[in-house]
Each structure stands twice: as C-alpha cells, then as structure tokens.
Structure 1
Amino acid sequence: MQLIAKAGLDAVTVRDVAEAAGCSTAIVSHYFHNKKELLHVTYTAAIERATGRAEAALAATGDLKAFLAEIMPLDEDRLTEWSIWLAFWAKAVSDPDIAAAQRNCVLRTRGNILRILDDLNARGELVAGVDRAHAARRVLATITGMAVQVMFDREDWPTDRQHGLIDPELRALYIPSRIPASIAEPAAPTHRENVVAMAGER
C-alpha cells in the first residue's frame, strides 16, 4: 500500500515489494501469480481495512459521524488508502475485476450509510420525510469529491475544514433537538471570551 501511494501502480514492481517486505521475489511469486493479482489483493485489502474500521467505529458509538470519519482522509493512514483507491480508479476503466471491486465498495458503503439513516429515522431523530437514499448518495459523493481535492491540495484541507464541509450536511438531516454532539455547531463565544481574545491579540 505504501509503495503504491508513493510511486503509483505502474512504477511498483514485484522486486520493490519483495525488498520492502524483506524477502525474495520467489517468496512473493509463491503467494501471488503475477503483479496484477498482487495489486488486486492490495486494492481489496485497502477497502476491507477501511470498511472494517468504519463498521467497528459504528458498533462502538452508534454514531453516523464516527462511521464517516473513518473513511475521510483525516490522517496519514486514511490518506494512504485514498491514494490507493484513486490510483486504481483509472485501472477500473479497463479491468473488470477492479471495476467490480470498486462498485461493490460503493454499494457496501452507501448501504451502510443508508442503514444508519434508517435506524436514526426509526428512533425519530431525523427530519420527517427526508429522502434517506438520496441523503446516503449525497453524503458519500461529498466525501469522495472532498477526498480528491485533499489528495491534490492537502494544505487547503486541514481536518477542521473537512469536518466543516461534512457536518452541516449531516446536521440538516436531524431534528434540531436531536443533533448529536459530534456534529453540533460550536457554541458562539461569550462577550467575556471575546474580550479575553482581543486582549490576547494586543
């Protein structure tokens, strides 16, 4: 995964993988028939790692934002995963196996988001009549589009800006009184806090 994220799919060789793993190319070839199989396994492993992490976060918290945060490019590991996914997207045009894996990943993730929204709706936490299937598509598309921009302009997308884009999308789905703390708007500073801040700037 690290080699692909740094050099891209075409530049990575079986020899590179063997050297990084501290073994011979014969060992790599024993487990993988060719480079294509090795790359495909790496791609699906990246998907499974992120999906498993997101599902574990959901199971632990029951919170939609906790689930989504695990697939947002908020740190080095998640940024590496996005680097891998983006590298494979071009391959998906001509490789039906990669295309199928990508489609299954989208369907699985979107299905999980929809399932969470259905559960929230059943508990009476969402705005009445919200189109949950559309909301699931919109949220996933927003994260995907944002991740592409983060990849090419990371300094412009620190974690607070990423949260600032996603959180309003989620807040709009909830009844105001049921908005969870994870996406609640920061409280406006009090007059005293403003005075203290101004004094500090001076």
Structure 2
Amino acid sequence: MPIDVDQNQRREDVAAAAARLIATRGMGAVTFRNLAGALLCSTTSISHYFANRQEILVETYKFVVQRARGRRTRPGADGRAMLASIDHILPLSDEEFDDWVVWLCFWTEALFNPDLAAVQRLYSRQQRGLIEDNLRALGCAPESAHDLSQKIMTTIYGIAVQAVFDPEAWTPDAQRAALHDVMKPLSSLLAAAGGARPEG
C-alpha cells in the first residue's frame, strides 16, 4: 500500500483483501500476516489503520455489503428495474457468489460476536427496507409492501444458501425462477409500471 493513498482507500484495500481471503479460505484466513502478504506490505502498515482483527472483520462486512449495493438500482417506479435490482441480491455472478460465501461465514461468526451481529441486523433490515421502498414505488399498500418484502428476503436467503452449497442445481435461471414465483402477486403491479411479468 503506497504512502500516498488516503486513509479511506487503505482501509478499503484491506477490507477487499480480507473479503478475498474469506471467500477462498474461510474466516480463519483473516490474519494480519495473510493480509500483509496479499497486499505486499508490512503488518505494521495494516495495524496503523486497524487496532485488531475485529475492526478488520467489521470493515470487511461493510465493504462487501456496499459492493453488493453498488450492483443494484435505486427504488423507482419501473417494474423491470425492480426485478433486476432484487435478482442481483442472489449469487448469480462469480462476485455475487463470493459475497454470499463471505456473508455466510460472517453469519456463523456473528452468532458469538455481538459487534458482528449488530452489523448483520442493521444491514439485513436496511436491505428489507430497500425492497419495501421498491414495492411501495410500484403501488403496493404500506402493509402489503412490508409483508411481501419479508417474504422476498426470506426467499432470497433460502435460495442463496442452497445455491452456494449446490451451484449445479441452483443455476442463475433456477434462482430467478424460484424468486419470481414468490413475486407472482406483483404481476399486475409490474405490468402497470411497464415492467415484465415474473416468469414461472
């Protein structure tokens, strides 16, 4: 990590390296030594920005969530954009698959780590809230949008976990079909908003 890189960029570089380690070798691979090796720097360079491993893990979780959000569209009144946005919460691409591996590792760790559990709760609620905002933008009543967003999130979690462990059976097409089946109640709203109806 060159000295002219600002502090936020250095922290992001460490988080990105940690995410790669977790996706390929598991949570235990996140050590100062492994990170230094991945970034071709000294462990002191990393400890200058992170006091301990816990801080690195929290920053890594935030980094992966923000990276995932960057692949999605903002809430809007277009039905097709709504479907595309929700689709890309699933592990459809290699990067999305890696993100889910990282999240699953974090969820296990969060069971016994209050700091990570708090971060997980926050981002899970925010994600559900974004879906609810999309549904309201399509014309769903507030209560219906809330209930359906819960069902969609539950479905996404179930599909993603199966896809991570059995990617041959849970291809991107199979994932989309399963998710769109749950979203069939939105068909009329999607059509009215100019979007395609869910398949399946």
TM-score if structure 1 supplies the norm length? 0.80
Which of structures 1 and 2 has the bigger CA Rg? 1
State the alpha-carbon separation in 1 of the partners of residues 199 and 55 from structure 2. Answer: 46
Using the TM superposition, give the Cα deviation of residue 133 of structure 1 relative to its aligned residue in structure 2, in angstroms.
1.1
Q: Deviations over 1:72-124 (max 9, x none)?
A: 10011011111111001112122111111111111101111111111111xxx
8 Å Cα contact 1:117-1:132 kept in structure 2: yes
Q: Answer with 173-182 or 75-84: which moved more.
A: 173-182
Asked if residue 172 in structure 1 is aligned to residue 163 in structure 2, the reply is no
Structure 1 residue corresponding to 2:109, chosen from 75, 87, 91: 91
Match of 1:141 in 2: 154
Match of 2:69 in 1: 51
8 Å Cα contact 1:170-1:183 kept in structure 2: no
Using the TM superposition, give the Cα deviation of residue 52 of structure 1 relative to its aligned residue in structure 2, in angstroms.
3.3
State the alpha-carbon separation in 1 of the partners of residues 127 and 194 from structure 2. Answer: 21
For this pair of structures, how many residues does the alignment match? 180
Question: In structure 1, the residue corresponding to 2:30 is in which secondary structure?
Answer: coil
CA 1:173–1:59 in structure 2 vs 1: closer, same or farther (change >3 Å)? Answer: closer
Considering only aligned residues, what root-mean-square deviation do their CA atoms show, in Å? 2.4
Higher relative contact order (CA 8 A, sep 6+): 2
Q: Deviations over 1:111-163 (max 9, x none)?
A: 11111111111xxxx5x898221100000110111100111111111111011
Q: Which blocks of at least 5 consecutive residues in structure 2 are unaligned?
A: 1-18
Q: Answer with 154-163 or 10-19: which moved more.
A: 10-19
Q: Which blocks of at least 5 consecutive residues in structure 1 are unaligned?
A: 187-202
